[in-house]
Chain A
């Protein structure tokens, strides 16, 4: 299987993504993942949390259809209505992954260009996506002229421009300084609240996962398996106050404790 299969009618009851006993063994013989099960409801914000190299990114790439699982099944809900894009998935990589040879606007336009969208429609959507991430003024700048945080915003705008149902984010803010990361966290929450997309967010930061998600999925070290699931039932909307609340500290402690066994076998990390 090269493409993620569509969820069957029975499964579509509110599920956006469904992984069943998925394993991934790379050609080098490294067992990266699994068996791993994961169900993500439509509109849910889920974080995958685990030590470096635990297969979080592998899981994300499999959901995106970038590579096939060695065994098991990957189901992704087909988007309703139009059939543009593989399955209505937007992907944000760890690096901004922008084309350095062209402007921010052209970078954001890329998914529409590849889908042969009409120019007029594309222009409108590109402008809207840039506005959503607060980059409207920098549309004509080249990626190298932007700061790390702004590059990430451009990358996010590109993922949003196709209006995907599912947003996959692979440690997108890991390389940013703390202040910038906090601001992008807040902006991401606001976006998610407005757009109600399904978000699967890979991170190795306990604090980030608790702050952002409705549910934290803790994974073991390689090969990555489900270690624990923690529901974060914090009051909405989450703001900077949540970051300093006792609630937040409690959840962070709980998630840290759940994560500790994943690190026990790893020395020096």
Chain B
């Protein structure tokens, strides 16, 4: 073909947010946080509240530093459980979705149970699991139960959203089932899978915490949730707050990491990862 006079790829014409607005978006939550913490400390000091009723943020911070050894160990334990539950949920959810996609019969037979597992509150299942499974396994299973469903349902949705014409193209060129799966279905489903994993990350932390709390009285655990339960019995309220703070931070980091991975994987082609411009 002759000439190609199509206009060159235009550089992204970003319409930048006014600098003031962007600054406000970062600063405002920080200001709110600072004000809240200050008010909290003020109330505690003015009212002379004892730490076993309500510790001030300074006391919580001090506990966090003093008890760092214990708390950090517990954090690692909880994170390990979360990670194991997350990996199990990711593999299990994607594998089940692939099986369902392959066989309608399997989907019809098993899908209702996946839903039942999802809608039954995990806090109610955890004590039963702890009876029948070793504690460490029970905790991971708990994390898996709450986290696998979003992966399963998102992956299923993704596998079913393949472009009809692209599917026709693969058929035209005689693609095998494996080729269609590898080159068409999985890449099409990738944004959906990543979305499911992002939800699963937070949920597996919740699952791990729920199971630790349920197991708490058994006393064998050493995760952060177990520390919270244990500190509650001892009226060590500052430590409860410190552990809660760490759990929160862990949740934020998990979410941030998964969002980052999702962005890095999709940034070149998927609408969700592209800027608002063009």
Does chain A have a CB within 8 A of B119? no
Contact assessment for B168 and A66 in the assembled complex, using a CB-CB cutoff below 8 Å: yes
Least CB distance from A115 to B in Å reads 7
Least CB distance from A157 to B in Å reads 10
Main secondary structure of the interface of B (DSSP, over half): loop
- Chain A minimum-CB-distance residue to B7: A147
Chain A, range 105-150, C-beta contacts under 8 Å to B: 110-111, 113-115, 132-135, 137, 141-147, 149-150
Contact assessment for B165 and A114 in the assembled complex, using a CB-CB cutoff below 8 Å: no
Which of B1, B6, B7, B187: most chain A CB closer than 10 A?
Answer: B1
Does chain B have a CB within 8 A of A95? yes
The answer to whether A99 and B166 touch (CB under 8 A), given A91-B172, A145-B9, is yes
The answer to whether A191 and B172 touch (CB under 8 A), given A100-B269, A100-B270, A147-B6, is no
A72: chain B residues within 8 A (beta carbon): none
- Chain A minimum-CB-distance residue to B171: A66
Total A-B pairs, Cβ < 8 A: 84
Contact assessment for B173 and A93 in the assembled complex, using a CB-CB cutoff below 8 Å: no
Least CB distance from A264 to B in Å reads 32
Cβ-defined partner of B1 (8 Å) among A141, A146, A147, A187: A187
Cβ-defined partner of B173 (8 Å) among A111, A143, A153, A180: A111
Does chain A have a CB within 8 A of B183? yes
Contact assessment for B183 and A113 in the assembled complex, using a CB-CB cutoff below 8 Å: yes
Contact assessment for A86 and B174 in the assembled complex, using a CB-CB cutoff below 8 Å: yes
Chain B, range 1-41, C-beta contacts under 8 Å to A: 1-7, 9
B166: chain A residues within 8 A (beta carbon): 97, 99
Does chain A have a CB within 8 A of B163? yes
Considering the chains assembled together, what is the distance between the CA atoms of A155 and B203 in angstroms? 42
Bits for A87-104, please: 1 = Cβ < 8 Å to B, else 0: 001010111010111100
Contact assessment for B172 and A89 in the assembled complex, using a CB-CB cutoff below 8 Å: yes
B9: chain A residues within 8 A (beta carbon): 141, 145-146
- Chain A minimum-CB-distance residue to B5: A183
Does chain A have a CB within 8 A of B98? no
The answer to whether A135 and B4 touch (CB under 8 A), given A97-B165, A100-B270, is yes
A186: chain B residues within 8 A (beta carbon): 2
Contact assessment for A134 and B4 in the assembled complex, using a CB-CB cutoff below 8 Å: yes
Cβ-defined partner of B175 (8 Å) among A93, A114, A146, A187: A114
Does chain A have a CB within 8 A of B250? no
Chain B, range 171-191, C-beta contacts under 8 Å to A: 171-175, 179, 183-184, 187-188, 190
The answer to whether A97 and B163 touch (CB under 8 A), given A61-B168, A115-B173, A147-B7, is yes
Can you list 21 A-B contacts with CB-CB less than 8 angstroms, sorted by A residue number? Answer: A64-B172, A65-B172, A93-B165, A97-B163, A97-B169, A99-B187, A100-B269, A110-B183, A113-B183, A114-B170, A114-B175, A114-B183, A134-B4, A142-B269, A144-B269, A153-B1, A186-B2, A187-B2, A190-B1, A190-B2, A191-B1
Residues on B lying within 8 angstroms of A by beta carbon are 1-7, 9, 163, 165-166, 168-175, 179, 183-184, 187-188, 190, 268-270, 274
